[in-house]
Amino acid sequence: MKAATSQTNIFSIDTLRKNLGKKRLVWLSIGIIIVIVAATIIPATLVLTKKSSTTLATVGTTTNSTTLTTDGTTVNNTTLSTIRTSTNNTTLTTATTTAKSASTITTEIITTTPTSKAWVQLNQMNELRIYHTASLLLDGRVLVTGGEREKTGLNTAELFDPDTGIWSLVNPMNFHRERHTASVLKDGTVLVTGGLSRENSLVSSEVFHPNNQTWTITDDMNDGRYGHTATVLSDGRVLVTGGGESTDSAEIYDPLNRTWTKTANMTRPRQWHQASVLLDGKILVTGTSPKALHANTDHYKDMGCNTEIYDPVTETWINITNMHVSRYFHTATVLLDGKVLVTGGVSTLDMKTTELYDPETGKWAQTSRLNTGRGIHRALLLASGRILVTGGLHRLRETKNVELYDPFNKTWSLIDAMNCGRSGHTLLTVRNEAVLAIGGIRRNIQCSAELFSP
């Protein structure tokens, strides 16, 4: 990594006084005052720009410091604003030096190169979170709910506004939740289900209303769940599968009458699995944990690779070809051509393995390996058709490594790393195809969220 570089231009009024007439000095002084006043009143804003622009964030906070030297000279430093771009950060600072003989005002402009060219840290969240949820609302804002902080479940929720870059706390949920799910319904409300609260799996569910930022408790699920999946079906209903200590059950939420109805059980218990919506509307479910199966390592090697498909029309499950590797805490992403890419996860082999499911043939094929083995990571389909994989646990530590999968040549390439290692975080696309990574860190709230521009 290259060290940060800086270019400093210092303009001293005392120096200019010797070379300019009084009139020029007056106009120059007025100009400096205008710059100072304008920079001070600019609020902290974030602008998600088009690809042709490089400015990603402007931080307009004002900080002051005063230093008294041994000779009686007082120095007041004021940082007026910082402009962050995809290539550098520019900070405007003024210093007023008052001595017994005269006063001097200097303005300093410093340009520095950030540690990551692609990832930009955003304004900090109100809470550090891991195992939370993040949902893209219909108006472009992002709702973040619950999660864990210092081994304690949270009931807090906050909204991120991409237009201003500001995080705002909203009304808290009715229950503390971590390892829960959140689904955006067709009417724009958000259904939150299950989760852990004080080591108990929850049956409760509630709905967030973005218009008035309130929560409404809805019908309880039939089974308590955490580490489950929740999938919005094409007709607007929500399918919830597995989770809890050991359950093969599944149920459907109907947003019209706000009730839960049991549907057919899966072929085996599942927890920390994945559910992917195929192009035909059916649901592919992959993976499960040894705990859910009550299986030892040998049995899990054979049992954990099972996959099945749910048909919402017939409300039935069908076993399909097994994956090559048993896994959980993995990702399963539907590609533009309808295939499903499964990456990493905790498995009987190393965590670098990946494989592709082809719905047309019903078969799994191993594909190229990740550069960094990882579990509890996140994967996201980009508009280009490539898959972005971020963070996760690597050798029991959160990694900041990021890589891209090219489905055309089936290769992985490492790209600019995140500013902070993350696992159990969330990853979603916001405006102008920018990617927002949220939480997944236990310390350093200043790195609680960052933005990637593909």
User: What pLDDT, in 10s, does the model give residues 205-240?
Assistant: 999 999 999 999 999 999 999 999 999 999 999 999
Neighbour tally for 211: CB within 10 Å? 8
Mean pLDDT of 355-374: 98
Higher pLDDT, 218 or 39: 218
Residues 178 and 257 in one domain: yes
Residues 287 and 362 in one domain: yes
| 1 in any annotated domain | no
| 386 in any annotated domain | yes
> What radius of gyration do the chain's Cα atoms show?
26
Report DSSP letters for 380-403, one per residue. EE-TTS-EEEE--EETTEE---EE
Give me the number of domains the chain comprises. 2
| 308 in any annotated domain | yes
Average pLDDT, the chain: 82
Tens-place pLDDT, residues 149-188 = 988 999 999 999 999 999 999 999 999 999 999 999 999 9
Mean pLDDT of 318-338: 97
Beta strands 152-153; 250-254: pairing state: unpaired
User: Which of 75, 90, 112 is where one domain is finished?
Assistant: 112
User: Which of 46, 81, 112 is where one domain is finished?
Assistant: 112
Residues 89 and 136 in one domain: no
User: Which of 56, 89, 112 is where one domain is finished?
Assistant: 112
Instruction: Tell whether the model's pLDDT for residue 79 goes beyond 50.
Output: no
Residue 449 corresponds to which tokens in the numbers above? 């969220």
Residues 124 and 164 in one domain: yes
Instruction: Tell whether the model's pLDDT for residue 265 goes beyond 70.
Output: yes
Residues 315 and 398 in one domain: yes
Tens-place pLDDT, residues 276-324 = 999 999 999 999 999 888 888 777 888 899 999 999 999 999 999 999 9
120: helix, strand or coil: strand
pLDDT score at 151: 87
Residues 344 and 439 in one domain: yes
Q: What is the pTM of this model?
A: 0.76
Domain of residue 30 covers: 6-112
Residues 397 and 422 in one domain: yes
Residues 50 and 198 in one domain: no
